[in-house]
A and B are shown apart, each in its own frame.
Chain A
Amino acid sequence: MTGERVTATPEAREAIQRLKREVGPIMFYQPGGCFDGSLPICFKLVEFIIGENDIFLGKVDGTPVYIDSRQYEEWKNTQLVLDVAPGESVGFSIAAGDNLHFVTKSNFMKADFVIR
């Protein structure tokens, strides 16, 4: 793994490419654990209004990933890895495919990867 704040598995990248073709530009938002918790939310790019309290983490194949600033405090030492897993998408997140949903895996980063 590199020191990027956010990255994705090949399966997640494939799903992102397909969604870009099917629904247009998309984005990810990483909420704190709540109900479906650590699952990232995939929105159409203009659907969710990014505000003063959201932090841009990086892009995966051109798709932006944001995190709530409170969450960012907790997750400073974590690298987010977008992945897909079997099962329907829950909440308002766009599904990653037929019976597939996006998930986030956390890699605890070494101190020198931390961007302050």
Chain B
Amino acid sequence: METLVEHKSLRTRRIYAMPGQPGSIVSVKAKYENFIGGRWIKPSMGHYMDDLSPVNGRRITKVPRSTMEDVELALDAAHEDKDAWAETSLADRAMVLNRIADAIELNLEMLSVAETYESGKPVRETLNQDIPLAADHFRYFAGATRTLEGSITEIDRDTVSYHFHEPVGVVAQIIPFNFPILLAAWKIAPALAAGNCTIVKPSSSTPWSILKLMELIQDIVPPGVVNVITGPGPEIGRALASNRRVAKVAFTGKTVTGKLIMQYTAENLIPSTTELGGKSPNIFFEDVMSKDDEFREKAIEGLVLYAFNKGEVSTCPSRALIQESVYHEFMDLALDKIRRIKEGNPFDTSTQVGPQASEQQLEKVMAYVDIGKQEGAKLLIGGHRAKVAESIKDGYYFEPTVFEGDNRMRIFQEEIFGPVLSVTTFKDEADAVRIANDSAFGLGAGVWTRDSMRAYRIGRAIKAGRVWINNYHIYPAGPAFSGYRISGIGGENHKMMLDQYTQTKNLLISYNSKPMGLF
């Protein structure tokens, strides 16, 4: 995989100690509190919930099971500090964002190991993708802050129109379980860059790692600018999204919840961004097989990327479309690579696939494998819980799985969110585009070919917000990330998010003292 930074651990194998164990670089307290107004505040009702690690199914720690009262406390804190933050100079705002990035980079290994413990993703991914990208995201928006400009139009000689981009105030940001720190960065960075205060609600299955991040930045970010409250989605997510003191809601999660969020925000007439699901096609043309070279190897890895983050990615390339003329030889090579995937202890830098994020996710993956079989899809590899070391046997490990079938099957149309690939063939370009677009979703897509003109044609024809050509799963800050169709309404990663976190104010000024003369 192409990476922005290659961490040294990929060159020398290392097995990190599990957090809380002797020798670990991550400390874990028995209990955490909400982070409100720059301080650690106990939940009003005094209730806590367990945060389990998918690595071994055991408790990491306890976090607040917050209630409406805690949402109000966080809103009080954010509203108290929002004017001061909005009036902070662009240079100082950018400095805060850059210092957050510095803190993340200085603690790269610690945060990576914590994120692995929280989410089960292999540490080779957190060290090379999640955490460096999170830091870079803050840097990108630190830069974007400095470019914030309004506009002036000379309507006529004496009439001038000014546009200002004012912060919207206090925003609510709801983060999913699949990238607890990186997707929090995707949301927090533009909100702060635009001068807003935020209340962040992490997923109830991954609430802890972001609290570790808050410990690192609590003295960097002014009080009240970033607040984190943990708790169940039905209560906290709802209480936030429907609260009249919230000026905008940003959500990443499933399509139906996105719909619910938009219902709440419609009620309060406030904007929302919703980054929802996908069932992304990954298209391989016959010419990838025309040479036995580095590019062919890259394309095969491109197919195997469905197992990146154990398939828990909204852009997971979970439908592979392979030109029928090379189907068998291509799949033989791909299956050989899949067979050699190393699954197990995610703290080992040589491990490529870790456990699913929660027991619920594992159940769902197993249910879909069952559905695939019932629909008559052919199981090519995997399909079972993975055998792992005794010490982690209670974790949620599932084998990388591949089905061959038809695009109308449910396993081709529904987002499984696990290491399950559905493969089918196509005849020619038109057939490839037809199958690729035969989906309710439209988030990501991949096109693999040595013919750059074909790549362009197909890339333009696919209805998806992001089409990767001859690469996949690369998420640099800058290129916009947003869905077509039921994949949501967004534009994250690009400075256009600053527009979504600001209100346009117009001053229309006359510098002429003469009356209009109408009355």
A interface list, Cβ under 8 A from B? 29, 31-39, 41, 43, 47-49, 68, 70-71, 74-75, 85-95, 101, 103, 105-106, 108
Query: Within the complex, which residue of A31, A37, A41, A106 is in contact with B416, where a contact is CB–CB below 8 Å?
Result: A37
Separation in Å of the B230 CB from the closest CB of chain A?
12
Q: Assess the A68–B256 pair: CB atoms within 8 A.
A: yes
**Which of A31, A39, A101 has the most chain B CB within a 10 Å cutoff?**
A31
Separation in Å of the B445 CB from the closest CB of chain A?
17
Beyond A39-B360, A87-B359, A88-B204, whether A48 also contacts B263 by CB under 8 A is yes
Interface residues of B in 345-385 (CB under 8 A from A): 358-361, 363-364, 367-368, 371, 374-375
Beyond A31-B254, A32-B414, whether A92 also contacts B260 by CB under 8 A is yes
B417 located at the interface, meaning its Cβ lies under 8 Å from any Cβ of chain A in the complex:
yes
Query: Who on chain A is nearest to B360 by CB?
Result: A87
Would you mind naming 26 contact pairs between A and B with Cβ atoms under 8 Å apart? A32-B413, A33-B277, A34-B254, A34-B256, A34-B414, A35-B176, A35-B257, A35-B415, A37-B414, A37-B417, A38-B368, A39-B364, A47-B260, A68-B256, A88-B205, A89-B232, A89-B234, A90-B203, A90-B358, A90-B360, A91-B234, A91-B237, A91-B254, A91-B257, A92-B237, A106-B374
Q: Assess the B205–A32 pair: CB atoms within 8 A.
A: no
The CA of A87 and the CA of B360, in the complex, are separated in Å by 7
Q: Assess the B234–A34 pair: CB atoms within 8 A.
A: no
Q: Assess the A95–B234 pair: CB atoms within 8 A.
A: yes
Residues from chain A with Cβ under 8 Å of B281 in the complex: none
Separation in Å of the A10 CB from the closest CB of chain B?
19
Query: Within the complex, which residue of A38, A86, A106 is in contact with B359, where a contact is CB–CB below 8 Å?
Result: A86
Residues from chain A with Cβ under 8 Å of B414 in the complex: 32-34, 37-38, 71, 74
Separation in Å of the A64 CB from the closest CB of chain B?
15
Residues from chain B with Cβ under 8 Å of A47 in the complex: 260
Q: Assess the A33–B416 pair: CB atoms within 8 A.
A: yes
Q: Assess the A32–B440 pair: CB atoms within 8 A.
A: yes
B interface list, Cβ under 8 A from A? 49, 176-178, 203-205, 232-234, 237-238, 253-257, 259-260, 263, 276-277, 314, 358-361, 363-364, 367-368, 371, 374-375, 410, 413-417, 440, 486
Query: Who on chain A is nearest to B374 by CB?
Result: A108
**Which of B233, B256, B259, B410 has the most chain A CB within a 10 Å cutoff?**
B256
Q: Assess the B238–A92 pair: CB atoms within 8 A.
A: yes
Known: A87-B360, A92-B260. 7 other contacts (CB 8 A): A33-B277, A48-B263, A74-B413, A85-B363, A90-B205, A92-B233, A103-B367
Residues from chain A with Cβ under 8 Å of B360 in the complex: 36, 39, 85, 87-88, 90, 101
Query: Who on chain B is nearest to A105 by CB?
Result: B367
Residues from chain B with Cβ under 8 Å of A32 in the complex: 255, 277, 413-415, 440
The 4 A-B residue pairs whose C-beta atoms are closest, nearest first, are A33-B414, A34-B277, A31-B256, A35-B254
The CA of A93 and the CA of B178, in the complex, are separated in Å by 18
Residues from chain B with Cβ under 8 Å of A34 in the complex: 254-256, 276-277, 414-415, 417
Query: Who on chain B is nearest to A94 by CB?
Result: B234
Q: Assess the A90–B233 pair: CB atoms within 8 A.
A: yes
Separation in Å of the B359 CB from the closest CB of chain A?
5
The CA of A77 and the CA of B468, in the complex, are separated in Å by 35
Separation in Å of the B100 CB from the closest CB of chain A?
27
Q: Assess the A87–B417 pair: CB atoms within 8 A.
A: no
Q: Assess the B238–A38 pair: CB atoms within 8 A.
A: no
The CA of A68 and the CA of B441, in the complex, are separated in Å by 14
Residues from chain A with Cβ under 8 Å of B314 in the complex: 35
Beyond A33-B414, A35-B415, A75-B410, whether A70 also contacts B205 by CB under 8 A is no
Residues from chain B with Cβ under 8 Å of A94 in the complex: 234
Query: Who on chain B is nearest to A37 by CB?
Result: B364
Q: Assess the A95–B232 pair: CB atoms within 8 A.
A: yes
Q: Assess the A29–B256 pair: CB atoms within 8 A.
A: yes
Separation in Å of the A84 CB from the closest CB of chain B?
12
The CA of A60 and the CA of B51, in the complex, are separated in Å by 33
Residues from chain A with Cβ under 8 Å of B364 in the complex: 33, 36-39
The CA of A95 and the CA of B231, in the complex, are separated in Å by 13
The CA of A32 and the CA of B488, in the complex, are separated in Å by 14
Separation in Å of the B238 CB from the closest CB of chain A?
6
The CA of A95 and the CA of B371, in the complex, are separated in Å by 25
The CA of A92 and the CA of B264, in the complex, are separated in Å by 12
**Which of A68, A70, A91 has the most chain B CB within a 10 Å cutoff?**
A91
Residues from chain B with Cβ under 8 Å of A68 in the complex: 256
The CA of A82 and the CA of B276, in the complex, are separated in Å by 24
Query: Who on chain B is nearest to A71 by CB?
Result: B414
Separation in Å of the B376 CB from the closest CB of chain A?
10
Query: Within the complex, which residue of A91, A105, A106 is in contact with B253, where a contact is CB–CB below 8 Å?
Result: A91
Residues from chain A with Cβ under 8 Å of B371 in the complex: 106
Q: Assess the B257–A37 pair: CB atoms within 8 A.
A: no
